[in-house]
């Protein structure tokens, strides 16, 4: 019985070729070919650190669309197949060299993967990843959110689950830092990110290639150990470990190894971890940072609605009359109307800059969203619909607040139509929050 | 001898030691640990509720329902004869586990003592360990397959009804939100089902046990967290699979650690008893039968369920011309006209007729909320409450029978104060805790329906309605369904449901519906509904459960 592993693994020709394909493929996927990545790198700053780093680690080169897609991958794969052939036919193959190449490929993918996992994990652990639910979202019909938004909202509804996902990601990332535990880490990541990939596809996310890439990055590590894994766990045979590993002391690089590793940990664990934590203590990365009118947040019924000189009664048919109005804590107000809404796609993610955050009004219907500027010492607000499909949707209103429950708005839109709107606050109780305190076992509960 | 050769020599020796390692002598602690585990895992792998056995013997094997097999796969287990608490604590529902464990410790120690007294010495339990593993493998495998098939044919999380699509996000419970977020992406649910069913299947085969168990730990571990985070209610039952799988992985942990982390040679020690001759025939027959039944037959039954009688979703088709979302343009109650006003507490604010036999409408006043998860095993449409469970915002849902001759709808409230116990044969898990409600609280006279069951539908109409049990495709008319409907009238008499009766007229090419009749308070009711196309941003896609085309 030959169960002793020799220190040198023998490489077949096709293995050597595939190894080169893999090396070139991963190299090409790390090539910054798009202008936006240079812009992100150039503009990296401490205030937008997490979103910048997130965008950098999930960057994949793309030529066919705004983000990497299947077509880009086929292109990269095609180039890799050709270049690998050239490289392969020109090189003298020795098992020793192949072993070394394979080793460095595994080191590279370990740290590449860990970089994604640390950033993704910390944003989930510190609940930056899934935004809190806004009052407007709570007052939007379930069917008016597009699929991708539904995924986010469902994570927001119970932050504990996202925190758990973050812990798993971070745990796997730590395991990747060490050669000996990297296989265990990979065994966590394959099902985890395989699932994320399918969820991304199902909910029509645009970054599904990133999760596919995460799974792909595990393959060199997994393939390296798969035979032993099968031998040990499936065939239940005596299995010898790998004893070969690169002798770092043999090269000048060896001295730098702890420094490089330390720098990696310092950046992706200490810095990213610290910044994620401090962000979680501060403002949301999804909603505007400007404060709204004082003590205004809530849901309002529209008691009176005068358009020019016509008083519009409550009507289930009217497309102009507002149905209800929500004021957020920040400078957003949203209006439920009786008409279909042209939705916009999101462009920002974990956006540091307040004016670029588009989460609240993208991929959702049922309501019109307005960001407002407070002027004239809380007496006047000017509204702008940030949805690019409604560029001219603007209002200016005089604000009158006779008491804490009523708001009267008087003003006009950009076309010169005059509006007089009287709002009264609704004491709305949300089942989502009420039941969190009560639990679902209560009988005869009414709401 | 070079250094390298010495190393290889040492390794060779290691191997020889490992190869010949004597597994027939276990240390004392291992013997005791095994005895405790044996008692614990046997108890937790067999049904503890007499109802489970009763239903098993009552099955009509020639006309099975998917739920028959589901109920075989899903049962409560463990020591429950000390009640459902440990020293007064329910321990988040885990008390039965703790009680079983305490019992197993005592039993394991007594077992050890008894052997000592009679002077018998056991050195190992290799073979018994194998059989314990077999029991756990099949228990966990069948259990997860039962769960998985309701996802593989996506019926566990149904696509939201028209009424749900029009319910505000904040008016849903977290549990509902999570379930719906799966419901809108049926293909993803199918994938989850495939994963669960294949993990279960892998437990049927020795070699794939580590893969199946590892998948179960991962998938069900996540489901445990989901159930805690979203208050899903099945955290104990999902933890159950994690526990069983972790036990199945016990022989693998150390060798994995040794080979891949400590980097020393290792081997998984598992002893498989030699089974030969007729015993082998019996073994393969049982195995073949179980696979045929729980993979083959179950697949077909779940398909039939998905196609014609989908689990949580009502199965009888609604009146085709009525289906859609509606604006309520006129509303007259007792002759008093209620103009549209979102603050009016009596008026219907909006309404839907679903694909199936349900009318829903919204009112602006607090109403009773069904806080169950809308699951369980009801066959009657009126008891399938997924469209209102975990939903507030004044959303009411009424099941209706339709007299097509006179164009009259006979409606009954899907909400009732005392919900049915779900997963009856399981005895635990799901929403089991309301049995004693009646004894504790009694029925409030004022909540009794104004229109009693007997006066609700005239006999002459009843005879025309036919047997509701036959409203579905013949393939879905299972014995379970027939039996449940046979008892339906008896049960209905005891229920406290609101009922009302309206005639319907359809005008304007089906865009206007006028309802005329008496409401649940015997007040006269006239409602004019105007059909609207809601601009929903999610769509059902092609994988749609149920058959409503007639």
Nearest to B145 by CA among B343, B293, B335, B361: B293
pTM over 0.90: yes
Binning pLDDT at 50, 70 and 90, where does residue B429 land? very low
Q: How confident is the model at residue B516 (pLDDT cuts 50, 70, 90)?
A: very high
Residue B271 buriedness (CB in 10 A; 0-12 / 13-18 / 19+):
middle
- Stronger pLDDT, B422 or A71, i.e. the higher one: A71
Average pLDDT of chain A is: 91
For position B13, what pLDDT does the model report? 63
**pLDDT value, residue B15:** 63
Who wins on pLDDT, A404 or A47? A404
A160 touches chain B (CB under 8 A): yes
Is some CB atom of chain B closer than 8 A to the CB atom of A432? Answer: yes
Range from A140-144, A156-160, A316-320 that averages highest in pLDDT: A140-144
Residue B33 or B494, more confident: B33
Average pLDDT over residues A206-233: 94
Count CB neighbours of B403 within 10 A: 19
Residues B290-344 have pLDDT tens digits of 999 999 999 999 999 999 999 999 999 999 999 999 999 999 999 999 999 999 9
Q: Would you say residue A4 has pLDDT above 50?
A: no
Would you kindly state where each structural domain of chain A is located, as residue ranges? 13-281, 298-432
Chain B contact for A443 (CB, 8 A cutoff): yes
Please check the confidence at residue B133 and state whether its pLDDT lies above 90. Answer: yes
The closest of B491, B469, B313, B485 to B389, measured between CA atoms, is B313
Judged against a pLDDT cut of 80, whether residue B501 lies above it is answered with yes
Work out the pLDDT band at A284, boundaries 50, 70, 90: confident
Dist. CA B115–CA B439, nearest whole Å: 49
pLDDT 10s digits, B209-224: 999 999 999 999 999 9
Which residue in the set A151, A198, A428 is minimally distant from B191, CB to CB? A198
pLDDT > 70? residue A183? yes
Distance, in Å, from the CA atom of A134 to the CA atom of A259, rounded to the nearest integer, reads 45
Enter the DSSP assignment of B356: B
Output the pLDDT for position B282.
95
**How far out from the chain centre does Cα B411 lie?**
27
B226 interfaces chain A, CB cutoff of 8 Å: yes
pLDDT at residue A184, as a whole number: 96
> Does B431 have pLDDT greater than 50?
no
pLDDT on residue B193: 96
pLDDT at residue A131, rounded to an integer: 87
Nearest neighbour of A157 by CB, restricted to B177, B187, B207: B177
On chain A, the residues whose CB falls within 8 A of the CB of B328 are: 316
Residue B444: the pLDDT is 61
**Interface residue B18 vs chain A (CB under 8 A):** yes
Q: Which tens digits make up the pLDDT trace of A188-198?
A: 999 999 999 99
At B446, the pLDDT band (50, 70, 90 cuts) reads: low
Minimal Cα distance from A204: which residue of B? B185
Tokens representing B364? 């602006």
* Inter-chain CB proximity B534 and A7 less than 8 Å: no
What is the C-alpha separation between A119 and A50, in angstroms, rounded? 8
If you measure CA to CA, which chain B residue comes closest to A200?
Answer: B188
Residue A221 has pLDDT above 80, yes or no: yes
Q: Mean pLDDT over residues A4-12, rounded?
A: 60
Beta strands B336-337 and B348-353, pairing class: unpaired
Q: Which of A228, A225, A9, A2 is nearest to B267 (CA)?
A: A228
**Partners of residue A363 in chain B, C-beta under 8 Å:** 537
Q: Do B210 and A233 touch (CB under 8 A)?
A: yes
Question: Measuring CA to CA, how many Å separate B484 from each of B109, B420, B470, B478?
Answer: 47, 13, 12, 10
Convert the pLDDT of each residue in A50-90 to its tens digit: 889 999 999 999 999 888 999 999 999 999 999 999 999 99
pLDDT the model gives residue A9: 67
How far is it, in rounded angstroms, from Cα B324 to Cα B162? 7
Residues of B in contact with A4 (CB under 8 A): 8, 11-12, 15
- Chain A with chain B: Cβ pairs closer than 8 A: 244
Summary mean pLDDT of chain B: 90
The mean pLDDT of B393-399, rounded to a whole number, is: 96
Among B537, B538, B541, B543, the strongest candidate for a mutation testing the A interface, having the largest count of A CBs within 10 A, is B537
When pLDDT is cut at 50, 70 and 90, the band that residue B2 belongs to is very low
Residues B372-386, mean pLDDT to the nearest whole number: 89
pLDDT at A95: 84
Specify the pLDDT at position A418: 96
Q: Tell me which CATH code domain A298-432 carries.
A: 2.40.128.280
| Listed range (A107-116, B8-17, B468-477) with the worst mean pLDDT | B8-17
Window A:304-323, CB contacts with B under 8 Å:
313-317, 323
Contact B183, B373 (CB under 8 A): no
Pair of tokens at residue A168: 């798993």
Q: How confident is the model at residue B22 (pLDDT cuts 50, 70, 90)?
A: low
Tell me how close the Cα of A7 comes to any Cα of chain B, in angstroms: 10
Residue A6 pLDDT: 44
pLDDT digits (tens, 9 = 90+) for B536-548: 999 988 899 999 9
**What pLDDT is recorded for position A92?**
85
| A351-368 pLDDT, tens digit each | 777 888 999 999 999 999
Q: pLDDT, tens digit, for every residue of B73-123?
A: 998 898 888 877 888 888 888 999 999 999 999 999 999 999 989 988 888
ipTM exceeding 0.90? yes
Average pLDDT over residues A157-165: 94
In sequence order, the 6+-apart residues with CB closer than 8 A to the CB of B265 are A238, A239, A240, A241, B11, B14, B15, B18, B258, B259
Q: How far is B226 from chain A (nearest CA, A)?
A: 6
Three-state secondary structure call for residue A68: coil
Residue found by looking up tokens 């040679």 in the block: B265
Of the two residues A271 and B119, the one the predictor is more confident about is: A271
A285-337 pLDDT tens trace = 899 989 999 999 999 999 999 999 999 999 989 999 999 999 999 999 999 99
Q: Is the pLDDT of residue B16 over 80?
A: no
């Amino acid at each position: 019985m030959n169960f002793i592993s020799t220190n040198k693994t023998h490489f077949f020709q096709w293995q050597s070729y595939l190894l080169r394909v893999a090396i070139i493929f991963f190299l090409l996927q790390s090539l910054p070919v798009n202008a936006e990545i240079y812009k992100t790198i150039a503009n990296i700053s401490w205030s937008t650190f997490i979103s910048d780093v997130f965008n950098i680690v999930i960057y994949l080169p793309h030529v066919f669309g705004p983000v990497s897609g299947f077509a880009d991958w086929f292109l990269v794969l095609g180039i890799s197949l050709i270049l690998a052939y050239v490289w392969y036919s020109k090189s003298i193959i020795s098992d020793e060299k192949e072993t070394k190449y394979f080793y460095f490929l595994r080191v590279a993918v370990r740290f590449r993967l860990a970089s994604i996992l640390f950033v993704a994990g910390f944003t989930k652990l510190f609940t930056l990843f899934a935004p809190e639910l806004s009052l407007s979202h709570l007052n939007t019909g379930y069917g008016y959110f597009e699929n991708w938004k539904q995924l986010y909202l469902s994570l927001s509804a119970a932050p504990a689950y996202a925190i758990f996902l973050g812990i798993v990601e971070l745990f796997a990332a730590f395991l990747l830092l060490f050669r000996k535990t990297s296989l265990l880490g990979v065994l966590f990541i394959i099902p985890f990110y395989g699932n994320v990939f399918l969820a991304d596809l199902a909910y029509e996310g645009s970054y599904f290639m990133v999760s596919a890439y995460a799974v792909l990055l595990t393959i060199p590590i997994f393939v390296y150990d798969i035979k032993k894994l099968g031998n040990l766990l499936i065939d239940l045979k005596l299995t010898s470990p790998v004893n070969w590993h690169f002798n770092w002391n043999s090269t000048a690089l060896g001295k730098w190894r702890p420094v490089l590793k330390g720098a990696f940990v310092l950046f992706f664990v200490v810095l990213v971890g610290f910044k994620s934590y401090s962000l979680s203590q501060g403002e949301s990365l999804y909603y505007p940072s400007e404060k709204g009118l004082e003590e205004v947040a809530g849901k309002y019924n529209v008691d009176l609605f005068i358009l020019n000189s016509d008083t519009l009664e409550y009507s289930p048919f009217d497309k102009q009359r507002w149905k209800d109005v929500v004021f957020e804590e920040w400078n957003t107000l949203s209006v439920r109307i009786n008409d279909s809404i042209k939705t916009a796609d999101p462009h920002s993610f974990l956006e540091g800059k307040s004016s670029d955050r588009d989460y609240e009004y993208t991929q959702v219907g049922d309501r019109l969203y307005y960001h407002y500027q407070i002027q004239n010492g809380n007496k006047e607000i000017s509204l702008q619909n940030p949805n690019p499909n409604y560029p001219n949707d603007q209002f200016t209103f005089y604000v009158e607040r006779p008491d804490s429950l009523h708001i009267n708005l008087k003003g006009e839109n950009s076309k010169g139509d005059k509006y007089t709107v009287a709002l009264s606050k609704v004491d709305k109780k949300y089942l989502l929050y009420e039941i969190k305190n009560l639990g679902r076992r209560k009988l005869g509960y009414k709401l | 001898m070079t250094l390298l050769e010495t190393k290889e020599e040492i390794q060779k020796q290691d191997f020889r030691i490992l190869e010949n390692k004597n597994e027939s002598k276990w240390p004392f602690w291992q013997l005791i640990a095994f005895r405790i585990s044996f008692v614990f895992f046997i108890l937790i792998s067999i049904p503890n509720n007499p109802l489970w056995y009763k239903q098993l013997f009552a099955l009509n094997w020639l006309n099975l329902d998917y739920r028959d097999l589901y109920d075989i796969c899903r049962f409560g287990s463990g020591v429950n004869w000390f009640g459902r608490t440990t020293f007064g604590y329910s321990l988040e529902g885990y008390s039965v586990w703790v009680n079983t464990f305490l019992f197993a410790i005592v039993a394991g120690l007594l077992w050890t003592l008894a052997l000592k007294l009679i002077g018998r010495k056991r050195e190992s339990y290799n073979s018994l360990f194998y059989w314990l593993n077999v029991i756990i493998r099949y228990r966990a495998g069948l259990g997860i397959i039962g769960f998985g098939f309701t996802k593989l044919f996506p019926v566990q999380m149904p696509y939201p009804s028209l009424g749900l699509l029009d319910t505000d996000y904040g008016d849903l419970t977290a549990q509902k939100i999570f379930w719906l977020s799966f419901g809108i992406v049926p293909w993803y649910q199918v994938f989850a089902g495939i994963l669960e069913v294949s993990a279960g299947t892998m437990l049927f085969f020795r070699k794939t046990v580590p893969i199946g168990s590892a998948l179960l730990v991962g998938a069900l571990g996540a489901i445990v967290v989901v159930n805690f985070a979203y208050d899903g209610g099945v955290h104990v039952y999902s933890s159950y699979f994690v526990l069983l799988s972790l036990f199945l992985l016990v022989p693998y942990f150390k060798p994995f650690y040794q080979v891949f982390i400590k980097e020393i040679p290792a081997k998984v020690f598992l002893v498989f008893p030699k089974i030969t001759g007729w015993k082998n025939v019996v073994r393969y027959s049982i195995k073949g039968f179980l696979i045929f039944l729980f993979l083959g037959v179950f697949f077909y039954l779940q398909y039939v369920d998905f196609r014609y009688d989908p689990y949580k979703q009502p199965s009888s088709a609604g009146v085709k011309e009525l289906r859609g979302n509606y604006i309520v343009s006129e509303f007259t109650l007792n002759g008093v006209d209620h103009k549209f006003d979102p603050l009016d507490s009596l008026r219907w604010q909006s309404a839907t007729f679903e694909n199936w036999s349900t009318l829903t409408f919204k009112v602006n006043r607090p109403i009773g909320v069904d806080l169950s998860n809308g699951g369980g095993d009801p066959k009657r449409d009126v008891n399938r409450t997924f469209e209102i469970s975990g939903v507030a915002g004044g959303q009411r849902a009424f099941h209706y029978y339709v007299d097509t001759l006179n164009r009259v709808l006979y409606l009954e409230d899907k909400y009732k104060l005392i919900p049915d116990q779900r997963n009856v044969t399981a005895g635990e898990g799901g929403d089991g805790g309301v049995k004693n409600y009646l004894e504790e609280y009694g029925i409030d006279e004022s909540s009794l329906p104004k229109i009693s069951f007997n006066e609700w539908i005239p006999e002459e109409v009843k005879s025309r309605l036919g047997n509701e049990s036959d409203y579905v495709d013949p393939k879905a008319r299972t014995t379970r369904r027939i039996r449940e409907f046979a008892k339906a009238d008896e049960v209905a008499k005891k229920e406290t449901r609101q009922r009302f009766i309206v005639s319907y007229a359809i005008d304007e090419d089906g865009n206007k519906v006028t309802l005329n009749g008496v409401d649940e308070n015997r007040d006269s009711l006239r409602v004019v509904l105007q059909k609207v196309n809601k601009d929903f941003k999610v769509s059902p896609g092609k994988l749609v459960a149920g058959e409503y085309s007639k």
